[in-house]
Structure 1
Amino acid sequence: MTVEKDKTVIQPPKTILRVLHLTFNMGIGGTEQVIRQLVQGMESEGVESEILCMDGQIGSIGETLEKSGIPVHKLARKQGFDRSLIKAIRKRVKEGQFDVVHCHQYTPWIYGWLASLGTQAKVVFTEHGRFYPDRYRYKAMFVNPIMAMLTPAVVAISGATREALTRYEFIPKRKVRVIYNGIAPLCRSEFESKKIRNELGIPEKAFVVGTVSRLDPVKNQQMMLRAFRAFSEVHPDSYLLMVGDGPDKAMLMALAEKLGIDGRTIFTGFINKPEHHLSAMDVFLLSSHTEGTSMTLLEAMSLGIPAIATRVGGNPEIVVDGITGILTDSGCAADFSNAMSRFAENKQLCEDFSKASSKVFTEKFTQKRMIQSYIMVYDGSELLSTP
């Protein structure tokens, strides 16, 4: 008796949409991480994606995606208003027969909107965050309402970002849809987190607060260092772990030395996959002057790490104050320090906030939820405005 082998062939998902993501570049940053999550997560949903970088550089995330088979293109934007860039984008839109041009940030929206005029492509604009301090641009008062009216979908990554688009960009509030950033959850490894602590010279029972962030003025890490100094005077067995790089690194290291906390403040530099460094923290810190939807804050939540964050931008929409973390005013180092003490002195509080963080993450901030929301925007199966 012979048994016939199963000849069933698993067919790849049928392509339902072709999407071109238009952005500045695909270096290291929150916007780039969102694009990566969308591109990789939508493959199984039948969405073919390509990325077009405007500023002449693909960047490290772009290079990684390119190696995985995702087409990543680059153009070199000239100074001033570059009309030739519009023509180059339009050429790619037509050649690629894209259904959607997804423009990430304001300037790519301008170029993508103009380049897509007269093509079959539907334009989607996502605002990922705002400059600090925000300001009015009165030219926008005349241009943006027209562009928004002729753009099928405008998306903000938080309610605060939506309010900023309405206030500073004169885009009608009813036009802007809020879609929170989402990520694939990280996996905690106690073995790896202990290994990281050991490698960094952190004692096993030390209380560790930390951040994963670009070391940049907008992140307000000077306040974080001053708050940690006050906290560590009462809790000398504590450490501050700062994962990241940026223009403020040398200044922050000098400030740590000046404050006398350099022995317990660890600057790791940029870490490509920081999940084990995050897992080594008892509490995650975010001291920014402004935020949209912080990707590293979501990563910490996915690992069940409670957070102390400033009450700015989208942070209050992510951190449930008194449930998953503690919110403080952005300029108050004393409140930030006191919040650290509350966690250090109450182990049960840490455990309760940890469970709540994981629960809220699963309910609101997963990659799957974000992808489903964007697909509904792409194919028009959901109303594109919110009340």
Structure 2
Amino acid sequence: MNSRPITVLQLCEHFGNEQSSFHGVARSFELWIPAFDKNRFRVLLCSRGGTIKAAEERFIAAGITPLYLGYGKFDPRNLLKLMQIVSSEKVDIIHAHGYGACLWGRIAGMLMGKPVIVHERCNYRTVPLFMRPIEWLLGPSTRYAFAVSESTRKFTVEKRYISSLIVKVLYSGIPLDGVKKAHSEWIISFRREQGIKPGNKVLGIVSRLESHKGHIDAFKALQLVLKEMPNVYLWVVGDGRYQDVLRRWVVENNMEKNIKFLGYRPDVLSVIQCFDVQLFPSHQEGTPNTLYEAMAIGNVPVASTADGQGEILENGKTALLFEPGDHEMMADLILRLFKDDKLLENIRNNVLVRIKDFDMRRTIATLEATYEQIMDGRS
């Protein structure tokens, strides 16, 4: 065992972009890094991309000072900057997340003799054409890898050419002791501020505004729900590059009254406690942090079976599930919950039990053990 703490560089592709303030991967770092045993580990954070104001503010508030490479995905200056950081910070392990980060991280690791962990965050179904030769070259030599769900593990093996013996599933989880209940008075007040009257129902989606997140499926489901229950509203929490498309769809379909965009909310954990049911209509995922957060406060999920969602949720017990893109089934499930208070309460109770399997302390313990095993093997 090293006499000094093991220094790990969490190398991320980016924390967000101009349209999306804070990605789910960035949220993981915000939660993870302060949780490591500081006597044994020194964990640094670096983005291949540039500064994102909202992300930077959140990291600083959490006691994390991010570093940046700051060049385009394929700019070779990334390698030089990364090698400077690894050298000056005496980095022992590079833990890489995202294509560009994994590209430069693995090359730096080979040149400097540093172990590199590849961490896949989503089952993208396919690898971008320009990345395939790179993955074909670097994948077989990758010695350590995690994936956030079983489907993502299979993707990592089949599409990124990393040995199935190496890729391990590691669910990100959430720090359960850090989830705070919002005051009932605040919930009532916030719902009132958003125009929600007593007896109205609120659906919610929390995610980046991207085409694969399934927002339009949810909008179409709401149209069907409103035919039977006219006092149902949908709140869209988050920002992203698909925002203009979604807003235009709402206007063109005369849904402005029932669909409200709340934008990026730093207080999202309080806002989601105003939902009656939370929707997860994604077409592709890893295992979203927003799902862990919803479960931790007892929200009832109506979710697609996409990837990690379908793995950790059980239909009829911890969620009501539908195939990705099936907005008609989504509408039926929403109505079923709103008409059956007992079912709603049973799922809520089961969710609060199930989330205990995803306490982030387990995730951190696995990472800490992995880092120590890697370093022990090199001593």
* Shared fold, TM over 0.5: yes
Shift of residue 15, structure 1, vs aligned partner: 5.9
Could you tell me whether the CA contact under 8 Å between 2:34 and 2:63 is conserved in 1? no
Could you tell me whether the CA contact under 8 Å between 1:140 and 1:170 is conserved in 2? no
Match of 2:363 among 367, 370, 375: 370
| Letter in structure 1 aligned against 2:340 | N
Shift of residue 283, structure 1, vs aligned partner: 0.9
The residue that corresponds to 2:251 in the other structure is 257
Q: Does 1:26 align with 2:24?
A: no
Match of 1:108 among 101, 104, 116: 101
Q: Distance in 2 between matches of 1:290 and 1:313?
A: 7
Q: Does 1:272 align with 2:266?
A: yes
Could you tell me whether the CA contact under 8 Å between 1:145 and 1:170 is conserved in 2? yes
25-34 vs 15-24, greater mean Cα deviation: 15-24
| Letter in structure 2 aligned against 1:275 | L
The residue that corresponds to 1:154 in the other structure is 145
Could you tell me whether the CA contact under 8 Å between 1:98 and 1:120 is conserved in 2? no
349-358 vs 205-214, greater mean Cα deviation: 205-214
Shift of residue 56, structure 1, vs aligned partner: 2.6
Match of 1:245 among 239, 246, 250: 239
Match of 2:122 among 126, 129, 132: 129
The residue that corresponds to 1:322 in the other structure is 316
> For each residue in 1:100-141, what CA deviation from the matched residue of structure 2 results, as whole angstroms up to 9, or x when unmatched?
211112321121111123546321110111436666765256
Shift of residue 61, structure 1, vs aligned partner: 2.3
Shift of residue 57, structure 1, vs aligned partner: 2.1
Query: 2:279 aligns to what SS in structure 1?
Result: strand
Q: Distance in 2 between matches of 1:197 and 1:138?
A: 48
The residue that corresponds to 1:346 in the other structure is 340
Q: Does 1:166 align with 2:188?
A: no
The residue that corresponds to 1:7 in the other structure is none
The residue that corresponds to 1:57 in the other structure is 51
Change beyond 3 A, Cα 1:113–1:269? same
Q: Distance in 2 between matches of 1:320 and 1:381?
A: 35
Q: Rg larger in 1 or in 2?
A: 1
| Letter in structure 2 aligned against 1:26 | F
Query: 1:103 aligns to what SS in structure 2?
Result: strand
66-75 vs 217-226, greater mean Cα deviation: 66-75
Q: Distance in 2 between matches of 1:197 and 1:46?
A: 45
Could you tell me whether the CA contact under 8 Å between 2:103 and 2:134 is conserved in 1? no
TM-score normalised according to structure 2 size: 0.89
Could you tell me whether the CA contact under 8 Å between 2:123 and 2:151 is conserved in 1? no
Shift of residue 142, structure 1, vs aligned partner: 3.5
Query: 2:246 aligns to what SS in structure 1?
Result: helix
Change beyond 3 A, Cα 1:254–1:315? same
Change beyond 3 A, Cα 1:64–1:260? closer
Q: Distance in 1 between matches of 2:84 and 2:343?
A: 57
The residue that corresponds to 2:19 in the other structure is none
The residue that corresponds to 2:197 in the other structure is 203
The residue that corresponds to 1:17 in the other structure is 6
Listed as ranges, the matches of 1:70-149 within 5 Å are 70-78=64-72, 81-119=74-112, 121-131=114-124, 138-140=132-134, 142-148=136-142
Q: Distance in 1 between matches of 2:191 and 2:126?
A: 37
Shift of residue 264, structure 1, vs aligned partner: 1.8
Q: Over aligned residues, Cα RMSD in angstroms? A: 2.4
Change beyond 3 A, Cα 1:158–1:70? same
Match of 1:219 among 213, 216, 224: 213
> For each residue in 1:294-313, what CA deviation from the matched residue of structure 2 results, as whole angstroms up to 9, or x when unmatched?
11111100011110111112
| Letter in structure 2 aligned against 1:82 | D
> For each residue in 1:293-352, what CA deviation from the matched residue of structure 2 results, as whole angstroms up to 9, or x when unmatched?
111111100011110111112111222211110111112111010010110000111111
The residue that corresponds to 2:188 in the other structure is 194
331-340 vs 106-115, greater mean Cα deviation: 106-115
Could you tell me whether the CA contact under 8 Å between 1:196 and 1:276 is conserved in 2? no
Could you tell me whether the CA contact under 8 Å between 2:47 and 2:66 is conserved in 1? yes
Q: Which runs of 5+ in 1 are unaligned?
A: 1-13
Q: Which runs of 5+ in 2 are unaligned?
A: 17-21
Change beyond 3 A, Cα 1:141–1:258? closer
Change beyond 3 A, Cα 1:23–1:340? same
Q: Distance in 2 between matches of 1:44 and 1:194?
A: 40
277-286 vs 233-242, greater mean Cα deviation: 233-242
| Letter in structure 2 aligned against 1:109 | C
Query: 1:228 aligns to what SS in structure 2?
Result: helix
The residue that corresponds to 1:231 in the other structure is 225
Query: 1:174 aligns to what SS in structure 2?
Result: coil
Query: 1:360 aligns to what SS in structure 2?
Result: helix
Q: Distance in 2 between matches of 1:17 and 1:62?
A: 24
Q: Distance in 1 between matches of 2:295 and 2:61?
A: 29
Q: Distance in 2 between matches of 1:274 and 1:141?
A: 36
The residue that corresponds to 1:333 in the other structure is 327
Change beyond 3 A, Cα 1:59–1:130? farther
> For each residue in 1:54-109, what CA deviation from the matched residue of structure 2 results, as whole angstroms up to 9, or x when unmatched?
12325422333235543321122246x33332122112112111222111123211
The residue that corresponds to 1:6 in the other structure is none
Could you tell me whether the CA contact under 8 Å between 1:311 and 1:328 is conserved in 2? yes
Query: 1:371 aligns to what SS in structure 2?
Result: helix
